[in-house]
């Protein structure tokens, strides 16, 4: 499965050396999951630099990452991304949005995002799931994830199905049809990365929120369960996989035929360049037959 990683920001300078990028964290996160029969490859798009998929079938699924930007802010790259989301929804392309990705999808499709007057949602939090799971399997009553946000979705798109919430963040995850899934929390964040991120924001966060968030990172989370849930949701339908396999087989056959033609062409060119040797070979064959 080819996953397009739409990176909507870069990490803080002091975190790049160890953690690379938002997209790389997703690549490492998905790769370490045990998903039988699912080979993953990743394509990166730098959204802030104007890179977006030209065609929706460039990848089997897409991930819109987190960002330090707000979905409601006036950045040049927000509008093109929003238009891309609208087109992806119309085509029922498979898309995952996390944190900022969750928020920009909601906003682009008719919802509303605001900076919450409740302040920071930080650390490991346990949120209640709905009983009618939009996924192929039932959800546990609670899902535990690492959170790091001040902005929230305050109004869902009309077509969205909310599946996880609490009093602090009522719209913490939603699906649209069987092609879009979002999470306000960060399944790709590790406790180590989160601690460094929270620490560099400690002044802005304030006490006791900062200390409580750091303590919460000792708790286990459901990131592996959620990761497998996400990949199953994003996985192309069986008939699509069959079509991809047939196209790959046809491509390999075409490449093999091209190699044979090239080899034959080179031999003919060599024969034309050296007609004497060619003639001698032919005569030799006549005498020995």
Structure tokens at 245: 């396999």
Which among 61, 64, 125 is positioned nearest to 94, based on CA atoms? 61
pLDDT of residue 247: 54
Average pLDDT estimate for 29-51: 90
Q: pLDDT band for position 281 (50/70/90)? A: very low
Specify the pLDDT at position 274.
Answer: 62
Phi, psi angles (nearest 5°) of residue 193: -65, -45
pLDDT tier at 273, thresholds 50, 70, 90: low
The residue whose two tokens read 């690379």 is: 20
Structure-token match 């930007």, residue found: 69
Question: Would you give the DSSP letter of residue 48?
Answer: G
| Listed residue (97, 98, 127) closest to 222, CA to CA | 127
Helix 191-200 vs helix 209-216: angle between axes, to the nearest 10 degrees? 170
Report how far apart, in Å, the C-alpha atoms of 29 and of each of 147, 157, 173, 226 are. 16, 28, 19, 11
Confidence class for position 284, pLDDT limits 50, 70, 90: very low
User: Please, which residues bridge with residue 94 across strands?
Assistant: 61
Query: Is 57 within 8 Å of 43 (Cβ atoms)?
Result: no
The Cα–Cα gap between 69 and 278 comes to 71
Residue 151 contacts residue 71 (beta carbons within 8 Å) = yes
* Residues 65 and 27 sit within 8 Å (Cβ to Cβ): no
Distance from CA of residue 168 to its chain's centroid? 26
Q: What is the pLDDT of residues 222-243, one digit of tens each?
A: 999 999 999 999 998 754 445 5
Residue 251: its pLDDT value, please? Answer: 65
Across the range 58-86, mean pLDDT stands at 97
If we measure between CA atoms, which residue out of 135, 63, 53 comes closest to residue 104?
63
């Amino acid at each position: 499965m080819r996953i397009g990683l739409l990176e909507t920001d870069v990490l803080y300078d002091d975190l790049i050396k160890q953690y690379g990028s938002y997209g790389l964290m997703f690549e490492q996160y998905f790769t370490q999951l045990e998903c039988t029969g699912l080979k993953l490859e990743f394509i990166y798009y730098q959204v802030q630099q104007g890179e977006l998929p030209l065609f929706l079938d460039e990848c089997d699924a897409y991930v819109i990452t987190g960002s330090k930007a707000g979905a409601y802010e006036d950045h040049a790259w927000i509008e093109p991304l929003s238009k891309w989301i609208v087109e992806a929804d119309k085509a029922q392309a498979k898309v995952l949005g996390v944190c900022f990705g969750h928020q920009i999808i909601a906003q682009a499709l008719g919802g509303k995002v605001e900076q919450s007057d409740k302040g920071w949602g930080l650390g490991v939090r346990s949120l209640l799931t709905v009983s009618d799971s939009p996924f192929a399997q039932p959800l546990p009553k609670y899902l535990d994830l690492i959170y790091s946000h001040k902005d929230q979705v305050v109004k869902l798109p009309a077509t969205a199905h909310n599946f996880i919430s609490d009093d602090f963040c009522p719209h913490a995850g939603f699906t649209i049809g069987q092609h879009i899934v979002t999470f306000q929390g960060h399944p790709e964040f590790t406790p180590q990365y989160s601690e460094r991120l929270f620490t560099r924001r400690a002044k802005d966060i304030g006490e006791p929120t900062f200390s409580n968030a750091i303590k919460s990172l000792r708790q286990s989370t459901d990131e592996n369960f959620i990761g497998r849930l996400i990949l199953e949701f994003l996985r192309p339908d069986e008939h699509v996989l069959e079509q991809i396999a047939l196209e790959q087989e046809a491509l390999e056959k075409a490449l093999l035929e091209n190699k044979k033609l090239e080899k034959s062409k080179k031999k003919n060119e060599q024969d034309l360049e050296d007609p004497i040797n060619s003639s001698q070979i032919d005569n030799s064959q006549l005498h020995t037959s």
